[in-house]
Structures are given as C-alpha cells and as structure tokens.
Structure 1
Amino acid sequence: MKKVFTFLTIFLLIFSLAGCSTNKQENHSITNQDITIRIATQYGLQYAPAQIMEKNKLIEKYMPGANIVWQTFPSGGAINEALAANRLDFAFMGPPPFLISWDKGVKIKLVSSVQGGPNGIVTYRPDIKSIKDFKDDDKIAMPGIGSTQHIFLQMESDKLMNDLHAMDDKVFSMSHPDAMNALLNKQVAAHFASAPYYFEEISNPDFHEVLTGKEAFGGEFTHIFLVATEEFHNSNPMAYAAVYQALVDSIAYINEHPEEAAKMLAPIYNLSEEKTLQYITWKDVNYSTTPYGLLKMAEFMKKAGYIKKTPEKMSDIAFETIVAQMGKKNGEDTQIEKLQR
C-alpha cells in the first residue's frame, strides 16, 4: 500500500509539471497495452538496477500490459545514436555521453542517478605505475572516446602532463567483457575497467591498478544515470512515473536485500553468488538516486571541447524527479547541490 501511495504521489508530481493538456495522455481510450517503453542498458554491475528491473518485471507491476523492450548496447556512443534517431525512450548511461547528446540538442534529460562506484586502469605490466609510464604503442581498452573512463584519463593527463589530450592516442575502443579478455591475453597494455570486470582484474595476483576513477576525478561521482526523452516524459507521465518508481524499488532491493540480489545477478555474469555479493557490496559501491559530481563533469567536458555549454541550473538537464530531490535553499547551495561540484 505504501509503494502504491508513493507511486501515485510521483505520478501526480510529474503529471502536474508535464501539464494536464499534453497531447497523447488526453485520449482516455489509450490503455497500457498501447504503450511501448524502449529502454537501453549496457554491460556491467553498475547496471544491476536495470537488470533487476527487467528480471523482476518491476515496471510491469505499475504498468501491467505495457510492452517493455530492453536492449543492451556496447557503449554510450551507440546509445546516443539510438536516442538521436528516436529509437529509445529511456537509457542507462554515463554522464559524458549524456552531456554530449544534450549539448547537441537531443531532447533528453536525467531521470535519476543509478550508481557510483569504483573503476580503474588495470595492467599486467610491472613497469607501469602511472599513466606517464605507458609507451607510444601501448593501448588502454575502454568503451571509447568520450566515455566516462576516457574523461577520467583526460583529467589525470591534465593534472600530470598539463595536456588533457596527451593519452588520447592510447584509447582502444572495446566493450568491457572483450577488454577483460584482451587484457588476460595481453593484447592490450591495460583496461580502464568497471564492475564486475574491475573486481575480477584487481583480484588477479598478476595484475595491479594504475589509477582509480575516484583519484582522477578528485572525489565521489555518479557513474550511471537513467535518462529519458522529453517527448516520452511529456506524453506519457504515468509510464514515466512507473519507470522511475521501478528504478527506486530496484535500488532499494539491492541495498536492503543484497544476498537475494546477488542470487539474481550471478547467472548474468557467470559469477558465483558469493562473488557477486562481494562485488555489489564492495567498498565505495553506491546504488543511489542521489547524483554526485555532475556539474564538475560538465565543466571539465566544456574545457576539453566535448560540449559548448554547461547547464545554468539543474532543471536544464534534469526532470523534476531529480530537481525536487535536490531542493533549493535560498542564499546558498543545498548539500546535494554541493555534491555536484
């Protein structure tokens, strides 16, 4: 009963802000069966809330009969192409590809934070202790140019070499599963890895870590957000609220029932339940709807030339599900606003 009340409250907030007169939802003959929700996700345990949403049919709990289409993409760049072509309604993705699309005028905004947690550059080479130790022909596998991992690499290059592009020629675009295999076979010098591949690699006694994302960024950050198109948000407030509430339920499930979540996630990654539990409860792993470091990321991306503008206020890039959570304290930033810088 409490969850139903919460869902209705969220719906009323979204519906009132979206405007009662917005197009499709005025037609009361539309049913859940008429609604298709297309959602993109990617590889890695940072997307665990999405995987639990899908496996437990959490959206269907609030939108019975709706057609939920889940798609797995290899990178944020591929998701950006699908968003620009109007082939998606929601996407789980990192801040850099989101900000790049937003800057180009794609009508998308943030729905919620999803996960922040450890990632880092892992290598088998004992001679590599810093990013300055990579040789001319060395390659670092990661999802691609403009990925979160690449932005972190540029931040560290800027600090150590006074040249944020100094390591760009080392980037080798690969999905995380393929990158881990390439590292194991010594086909690349290193992998800028995310969970669970990061945990697997740093647990290997023959590997060591060169740099963490937290060190490069200089503090806490949100690794994954859920974004939605403005068209879907404005046209389908009930469905938008259903997806958001399903995400909230999924994050709460992982945090409150990690053993059960691990049991559900283990087969997806071909891991034992014990190891999966260890990974989703690893130090610094944070499944949360509260964003961290977003504006700091935007400011660096403008400096690096990825985007031409930065958001003047959070509502420029986020829907009310984030804006209302952040609040507004007259005269100074709220604590959540301070977390963005």
Structure 2
Amino acid sequence: MDNSLGNKRLKKFATLFTAFATTTTACLALGTVSAHAEGSISIAQQFGIGYLILDVVRDQHLIEKHGKEQGLDINVEWRTISGATAMNEALLSGALDVASAGVPPMLTVWDRTRGRQNVKAIASLGSMPNYLLSNNPAVKTVSDLSEKDRIAVPAAGVGFQSRTLQIETARLYGNADYKRFDTISVSLPHPDASTALIAGGSEISAHFSSPPFQYQALEHANVHKILSSYDVLGGPATFNVLYATQKFHDDNPKTYRAFYDALAEASQIVKANKAAAAETYIRVEKSRLSPELVKKIVEDPEIDFTIIPQRTFVYAEKLQQLGVLKNKADSWQDYFFAEAHTDSGS
C-alpha cells in the first residue's frame, strides 16, 4: 500500500474519531444537564405577606411532595431578591428559574422577551389591594394632589404602584398626560415611606403602600386612604405573580407540574385555616409583626390568596394603550402558561 495513501486514511479516521468523541461528550454533557434540571428548581420571592402562598409551599415541602408523586426527587432552592429589576436580571441570565413581582413588571418582561426567552406567568400569588395614602388633610382624592406633594413608591414610574397610578391618571386627564404624577413621585422602600408618612414633617405627603404597611399606617389618625388599586382595576385584582422562561417550562415538565400543583395546594391550605397560615408567615419570614396584625391581614375579606389571575388583563390592555407595552395581548392567556388556562382567570 502506498504510505501516503495509508497516512491519509489514518488521518481521516483520526478526524472522524475525534468528531465522534466530541459529539458523544457533548451529548452526554447535555444529557446530564437536562437530567439535573428536571429535578431542580430555584425560586425567588420578595418581602411581604403577598408571598404567603410561597411561605406555605416552603414550610410544608409541597414541591418535594408533588415531585415524589411523579417519581421525581426535586431539589428546591429558595432565594430572596428585592426589586423586580434585580429579579428579572437573575431570571434572564439563567441564575434563577422562577421570579416573582407585581403584574406590571411581569408584563414588561413578557413584552420585551417575546420571540426570545418568551417569559410568561405561572400563577397568581393572590388578589390584594394597595392603598394610596396621604397625611395631607387637603388631599381627599387623586385630583387634589399638587406640586407641593411628594408620593413615595418603591420604583417611581415603573413599579406596580406607579403603573396603577398612571392608569388612574390617564382616566382622569387623558392618555397623553398619564405621567402627570411621575414628576412628584419619589422612589422609597415601603418601610421608609411608611415611617415618613406617619411621622409627618418631611416632603413625603403620600405613599402608594401595600400590606402590611398600609394597615399599620391607617392605625394613625393623621393618615387616610385616597385610592385603592381595586378602584382603578374595577374590583379584586392580582397583586403579585410568578413567572419563568419558556425554556424552563418546556424542558422541565414534571418539575413545573409539581410546582404548579404545590401552589394550588398551598392556596387551599391558606383558605382552609387562615389563623394557621398567619402563624406560618411569621415563622417562615421570621416576622416581627404582631400575630394579631398578621391574622387581621390574612383574614381581610378584600384579600384572596388564590393562584387564579384576576383582572391582570386590565394592566395588559391599558399599558399597551399608553405605549408602555409594545405587544398587544388578545387575552390574559397570552402571557400565562397553559397550565393556568383551565381556571377562569382574567
């Protein structure tokens, strides 16, 4: 045999073997990643009683329970991240599987990832009103707010409270003027804003609050309510939601199903025994709130710890009309994964 021909054949064989080995290694690696991913989930929540359903899921190990029913041992990682921006960055970078935030921030990331990561909502964490409060006796309604007032919100111009106020402002003054009160809005965490409002004497004369802070503030005679998010949305409406990427949903069907079923069970547990649920919140969150206040909030008839979305489409429709969202949703089902579609959401 010609040596040059033999060498060529050997080189060709070596090249093919290397390619095969590389491909095999890559496939094994991918297989390992997929197997690990299907049995694990990382979930982030923020602070507050709006995350009670997750506290119950965590306390009673419900994801692990429903995973075992499917023959799957699920490793659950719980994280706490403050703010929707940091939450969304962690989700889109792949450092997090499930994020949680208000409806408007979720819709913003759904809007911006369409055709790419395709982020969608998993479930509601409950319907809960947020109150716009004031310590200014002259301010009885939103229309009474002036340049002399300062409205404290967690994320001025972009957060749940600001978007809700923008929708109300558009109703009062027209779509072109929906940012009217952005100029007097100040970004301030709820605890600091609540303290400033109650104490008085600072530039903060209004606070678009949330539970439990609004209940604490209203115990003081100098603070009164001028608007509820329920007034803006036409009734009980979802406050916080859970959401994930299309990839996590599609690549981990058993883990996702176990998580969704765990949420559904936790919702029923809360409704069946609200006093016990209040105790769970205090224990899991290591809360310093009085048990009486937490129980009062959990039992408030305005609050419904349901995973069924309520009036989220009001945000989707209004924010698209205002130009905040580029994409138009035809219904709430456009930005929720299919598992939630069996419920009579909105």
Q: TM range, normalised to the smaller chain?
A: 0.7 to 0.9
| Residue matched to 1:91 | 99
Q: Structure 1 residues 271, 135: closer, same or farther in 2, change over 3 A?
A: same
| Residue matched to 1:262 | 278
Aligned-residue sequence identity (percent) comes to 28
Alignment partner of 2:159 out of 147, 161, 176: 147
Asked if the contact 1:43/1:176 (under 8 Å) is kept, the reply is no
| Runs of 4+, deviation exceeding 4 Å | 26-34
| Residue matched to 2:118 | 107
Correspondence 1:124 to 2:135: yes
Q: Following the alignment from structure 2 to structure 1, what is the Cα–Cα distance between the partners of residues 333 and 234?
A: 25
Q: Following the alignment from structure 1 to structure 2, what is the Cα–Cα distance between the partners of residues 179 and 246?
A: 34
Q: Following the alignment from structure 2 to structure 1, what is the Cα–Cα distance between the partners of residues 151 and 80?
A: 23
Alignment of 1:44-193 (within 5 A): 44-63=48-67, 66-105=74-113, 106-144=117-155, 145-162=157-174, 163-186=177-200, 187=202, 188-193=204-209
Larger Rg: 2
Alignment of 1:221-232 (within 5 A): 221-232=237-248
Helix, strand or coil at the partner of 1:127: coil
TM-score (norm 1): 0.81
For 1:257-302, what per-residue CA distance to the aligned partner results, in whole angstroms no more than 9, with x for missing partners?
1111111213533122222111111121011122111222111111
Amino acid at match of 1:184: I
Asked if the contact 2:313/2:331 (under 8 Å) is kept, the reply is no
Q: Following the alignment from structure 1 to structure 2, what is the Cα–Cα distance between the partners of residues 30 and 118?
A: 40
Structure 2 unaligned blocks of 5 or more: 1-26
Q: CA deviation at 1:208?
A: 0.6
Q: Following the alignment from structure 2 to structure 1, what is the Cα–Cα distance between the partners of residues 333 and 164?
A: 25
Structural RMSD (CA): 2.5
Amino acid at match of 1:300: K
Structure 1 unaligned blocks of 5 or more: 1-22, 327-335
For 1:15-69, what per-residue CA distance to the aligned partner results, in whole angstroms no more than 9, with x for missing partners?
xxxxxxxx99x95997679843121211221111112222332222234753322
Q: How many residues align?
A: 305
Alignment of 1:298-317 (within 5 A): 298-317=316-335
TM-score (norm 2): 0.80
For 1:72-117, what per-residue CA distance to the aligned partner results, in whole angstroms no more than 9, with x for missing partners?
2222232222222222211222211111111111421121122112
Q: CA deviation at 1:197?
A: 1.0
Q: Following the alignment from structure 2 to structure 1, what is the Cα–Cα distance between the partners of residues 230 and 127?
A: 10
Q: CA deviation at 1:213?
A: 0.7
